[in-house]
Amino acid sequence: MNRIRFMLGMVFMLVGVLLFPGAEDATVYVTNSGQKYHNDGCSSLARSKIAVTLGDAVRSGYEPCSVCKPPVFVAGTGGATPVSAQPEGLYRVNTAHLTKTTEAALSRMVKAEVVGHVDGDTVRVRIPNPPKDLGTVETIRMIGVDTPETVHPKRPVEYFGIEASNFTKERLLNRQVYLAFDWDLRDRYGRLLAYIYTEDGQCFNASLVREGYGHAYISYAFQFIEEFKNLEADAKNKKRGLWSNIE
């Protein structure tokens, strides 16, 4: 009798595992600050909601929400492989001794998707299968560039701030990008300091300076400081963007 019960139990378990586990690429949602992942529509997602795959959520240490009961990832049901292979370790342009943004190798960078837009020089990204030291969702402050203020609570919107913010949104939002790093991995707010490269191999940080959407931000040393200074001088010379009303 016990044996039959056991067999039945096994059959139900197998059926359960086959029918109900979340596929690794099932979409679940996390928040900017929480430790749980959720189904769409959960009340915990009222403030922020970032789509991730179930596999990414679990590998990043998120737990299923006990309220909305999202799918549970069952290892060994064919889903244990990485979503997309990320290179080992972080690609740092200073230790790679690069001198120009064009020398960087996309293949060594961390792949990410821009999922949120904050300002001209700051975006939010999702990193599938993040390497050590990075989270699944990160806020990125771009290195070497400072765009005019648009979201500071105590300061007015600065000249060309809206244009810079829109430029970044149009070029990066919902796009696949590649991240390279430099001396410091994070700023004092915990934001990731990175160079954002687009699929055409262009360094977006440099594009902002070149097109006059931002100043070269040279208060802190960075590997491409000479290039960025030159790009700024050229933008000023040609009165591009924020330099257009300067005599």
Nearer to Zn ion, 42 or 208 (CB): 42
How far apart are CB 35 and Zn ion at their closest, in Å? 11
Q: Is 149 a catalytic residue?
A: yes
From candidates 15, 18, 67, 162, binder to Zn ion by CB under 5 A: 67
Nearest distance from C-beta of residue 29 to Zn ion, angstroms: 8
CB contact burial 173-205 (16+ within 10 A = b; e otherwise): eebebbbbbbeeeeeeeebbbbbbbbeeeebbb
**Residue 10: how many CA atoms within 13 Å on its side-chain side?**
6
Q: Which residue among 28, 30, 42, 209 contacts Zn ion (CB under 5 A)?
A: 42
Using the rule CB under 5 A, is 17 a contact of Zn ion?
no
Q: In whole angstroms, how close is the CB of 49 to Zn ion at the nearest point?
A: 11
Look-up: residue for tokens 């309220």? 67
Cα–Cα nearest to 127, from 52, 183, 64: 52
Nearest distance in Å: CB 57, Zn ion:
12
Distance CA 222, CA 144 (A): 7
Q: How far is the CB of 169 from Zn ion (least distance, A)?
A: 29
Kindly state whether residue 28 participates in binding Zn ion, applying the rule CB under 5 A: no
Catalytic residue among 141, 163, 210, 232, which? 141
The residue from 21, 22, 24, 44 that contacts Zn ion (CB under 5 A) is 44
User: Of 65 and 231, which CB lies nearer to Zn ion in the complex structure?
Assistant: 65
With CB under 5 A as the contact rule, the residue among 28, 57, 68, 177 that binds Zn ion is 68
**Which of 22, 30, 38, 128 touches Zn ion (CB under 5 A)?**
38
| Catalytic site includes residue 141 | yes
The CA distance from 228 to 7, in Å, is: 69
- How many of the chain's residues bind Zn ion (CB under 5 A)? 6
Cα distances (Å, whole numbers) of residue 138 to 153, 187, 231: 22, 12, 28
Count of Cβ atoms closer than 10 Å to residue 219 Cβ: 5
Contacting residues for 192 by C-beta, under 8 A, at least 6 apart: 134, 138, 139, 140, 141, 179, 185, 186
CA-to-CA distance for 52 and 56, rounded, in angstroms? 6
Q: Interface residues with Zn ion (CB under 5 A)?
A: 38, 42, 44, 65, 67-68
Positions marked catalytic: 141, 149, 191
